[in-house]
Amino acid sequence: MSEAFGYVYPNHEVFWGILIVIYPYFVSIITGMVTIYAISEFWRKELKPLEKMILVGTFPFVLSALLPLLLDLGQPQRAFEIYVTPNFSSVMAVFGIVYLTELFAILGELWFVYRVDFIWWSQTERNPIKRLIYKILTLGVYDISKKAIEIDHKVIKVLTFVELIAAWCLSYVSFLFGVVKSNPWWNTTILPVSFVFGGLAAGGAMVLILYLLFSSYYGKRVDEKIIDIISNYVFFFLLAAFALEMINTILYAYKEDIAWAVIRITSTELAVPMAIAVIGSLEALLFLRYSRMVSGALKQIMVVIASISVLIAVFALRWNMVIGAQLVDYSLRGYVSYTPPLFGKEGILAALFVIAAPFVIMAIVNYFLPPYEKEVEETEISRPTTSVSEA
Amino acid sequence: MKHVTRALLLFVFIVLVFISAIFTLRALGEEYYPGIPDSLLGIKGLYGYDRNEKVIIRNEPDFLGKEYCKNCHEEIYEKSLKGKHDFECETCHGAGRGHPDKDLSVENTRDFCLNCHKPVIARPDFSLVYDWETHGYPDKPCTVCHDPHHPWFG
């Protein structure tokens, strides 16, 4: 039977490759991290110690979210056209504006959160170049009165809100990558919701990993309570995403409608990503659940394993959405298969480069805006803090 | 309050620069943007399809059309025109490039015909075999009774 496939509709091609998978993936991670940030800002004051770290972690992802799209463009030098000739009736085109909102919100957030530190560093930093940079970043205002800091906190709240909305809108744009293809399996009302929940889980997992990394880099004690709170969120986000996907699929199987035909046709092509998504999610759910009952190194190992599986499983889900949606012909008479090439602009190496980019940027951001102080450093003058109660 | 004002001014300044850059580029016209970056990179022509389509256009065609098959399989060609299987030969036999060196024979099975004749939700309602499990001989190919190139009898 398979002989007949592959050429029945030969004009059918996979245009969106692995890079377009990475784009919604990054956006998911951004959405998740921003949401955890908002949670720490609005509800769970216990997560406050993480706020700078989450910002330092999110900012590089926001910066590099455009990278896969740029690499995918045939003529990257024309990318600015979306601003020069804006089209407000296209959600895809409005993406540029949403992205800028997100970028500026997070830049503003960084500035307000680090403002007191800038002032402190501009006085104490030994490296003259760094000191100059901090001096410029203070914008010439050295006001650390209680009132000024209170205003900072209000502004930060507003910016967090803007950032949260922008991040969720970005998510919306990126699941369009699946819906635009409009094959029955992916053309469902549940997709946006399960997409966002998957993203929240991925972002939370990224926060967990970064928290452990930053803590060991700065020699800080890992606070198990923080890990518990976040892994609890990740657990429920992942559970929601997983349950929604499953309900959807079971509903299709029960109705045996057109979408079920699509699932059956593609199941051979998508077997590996689907298996990764299902097994990865289940395993992560188990580990997250039981990590709460242990403590110490074992807990950290379990959380790291779970977080990595969440990240991989969500990547597999994005793969299913972007690539999978393109594999089936609209007439359901055949499918094409897709293996990314190793080299070239859209190859696996380029994809690895893109995935590594945020971490490289993160190291640079961390150099200029360290979220914590090294535990060994000791200064005589007591350092001003950003929190009102202590100031 | 002073610092908020300054930050706000800085932000407004950046936005203004951005917007004026957009309006300048619009006023200058397409010869300047994307014209100049294009010409710096040696790309000719202001507009075109995206890269993928350009690559595909450059490929030699795999499908040659039934007029090509007529050159050597005239008999089958004439016969097919009389029946309802008068679409492209390559729909069933696959891309013709490289033939006769490339084997174009098809697997003569029931499944092969049923690819098009089995009722499927998305399929238009033409000559479907609703009793496809039992129609004809369940264990013999359809071609025992139907000529693939002239499927109706007579």
Q: Are residues A112 and B63, on separate chains, in Cβ contact within 8 Å?
A: no
Q: A212: closest CA among A229, A199, A224, A200?
A: A224
Q: Are residues B123 and A331, on separate chains, in Cβ contact within 8 Å?
A: yes
Q: Are residues A151 and B4, on separate chains, in Cβ contact within 8 Å?
A: yes
At A56-83, the pLDDT tens digits run 999 999 999 988 888 888 778 888 888 8
Q: Mean pLDDT: which of A286-290, B30-34, B117-121 is highest?
A: A286-290
pLDDT at A4 over 50: no
Q: Which residue has the tokens 């008068």?
A: B86
Higher pLDDT, A381 or A274: A274
Q: If pLDDT is split at 50, 70 and 90, which confidence band does A390 have?
A: very low
Exposure letters A164-176 (e unless 16+ CB within 10 A, then b): bbbbbbbbbbbbb
DSSP state of A383: P
Q: What is the mean pLDDT of residues A127-153?
A: 89
Share of chain A above pLDDT 70, in %: 89
Q: If pLDDT is split at 50, 70 and 90, which confidence band does A7 have?
A: very low
Three-state DSSP string of B9-27: HHHHHHHHHHHHHHHHHHH
**The CATH fold of domain A2-368:** Formate dehydrogenase/DMSO reductase fold (1.20.1630)
The sign of the torsion formed by the CA atoms of B11, B16, B19, B22 equals negative
- Which of B6, B43, B56 lies at the smallest CB-CB distance from A139? B6
Kindly give, in sequence order, each residue whose CB lies less than 8 Å from that of residue A361, ignoring residues fewer than 6 positions away: A59, A60, A63, A64
ipTM score here? 0.78
At A82-97, the pLDDT tens digits run 888 888 887 777 888 8
What pLDDT score does A305 carry? 93
Higher pLDDT, A12 or A161: A161
Shortest Cα distance, chain A CAs vs residue B154, angstroms: 28
Q: B2: closest CA among A139, A359, A239?
A: A139
pLDDT at A134 over 80: yes
Q: If pLDDT is split at 50, 70 and 90, which confidence band does B53 have?
A: low
What pLDDT score does A16 carry? 81
What is the C-alpha to C-alpha distance for residues A156 and A56, in angstroms, rounded to an integer? 15
Concatenated DSSP letters of A313-378: HHHHHHHIIIIIHHHB-TTSS-B------SSSTTSHHHHHHHHHHHHHHHHHHHHHS-SS--TT--
Q: Mean pLDDT: which of A257-261, A311-315, A339-343, B51-55 is highest?
A: A311-315
Question: Does A271 lie at the interface with B, CB-CB under 8 angstroms?
Answer: no
Question: Does A146 lie at the interface with B, CB-CB under 8 angstroms?
Answer: no
Phi, psi (rounded to 5 degrees) for B135: -55, 135
pLDDT at A261 over 80: no
What pLDDT score does A10 carry? 44
Shortest Cα distance, chain B CAs vs residue A7, angstroms: 6
Q: Are residues A261 and B122, on separate chains, in Cβ contact within 8 Å?
A: yes
Higher pLDDT, A349 or A262: A349
Burial class (CB in 10 A: 0-12, 13-18, 19+), A196: buried
pLDDT at A148 over 60: yes
What pLDDT score does B55 carry? 65
Report chain A residues whose CB lies below 8 A from the CB of B37. 77-78
pLDDT at A358 over 70: yes
pLDDT at A389 over 90: no
Least confident of A23-27, A184-188, A314-318, B128-132: A184-188
Least confident of A138-152, A165-179, A300-314, B2-16: A165-179
Task: Using DSSP, state whether B150 is helix, strand or coil.
Answer: strand
Q: What is the mean pLDDT of residues A107-119?
A: 92
pLDDT at A53 over 70: yes
Write out the residues of chain B at the interface with chain A, using a CB-CB cutoff of 8 A.
1-4, 6-7, 10-11, 14, 18, 22, 25-26, 33-34, 37-38, 40-41, 43, 50-52, 54, 56, 62-63, 90-91, 94-95, 106-107, 109, 111-112, 115-116, 120-123
Kindly give, in sequence order, each residue whose CB lies less than 8 Å from that of residue A302, ignoring residues fewer than 6 positions away: A287, A288, A290, A291, A294
Kindly give, in sequence order, each residue whose CB lies less than 8 Å from that of residue A391, ignoring residues fewer than 6 positions away: A144, A146, A149, A384, A385
Tokens of A127: 């490296």
Q: If pLDDT is split at 50, 70 and 90, which confidence band does B52 have?
A: low
What pLDDT score does A269 carry? 79
- CA distances (Å), A373 to each of A23, A193, A370, A380, B86, in order? 33, 39, 7, 14, 78
What is the C-alpha to C-alpha distance for residues A232 and A204, in angstroms, rounded to an integer? 10
What pLDDT score does A103 carry? 94
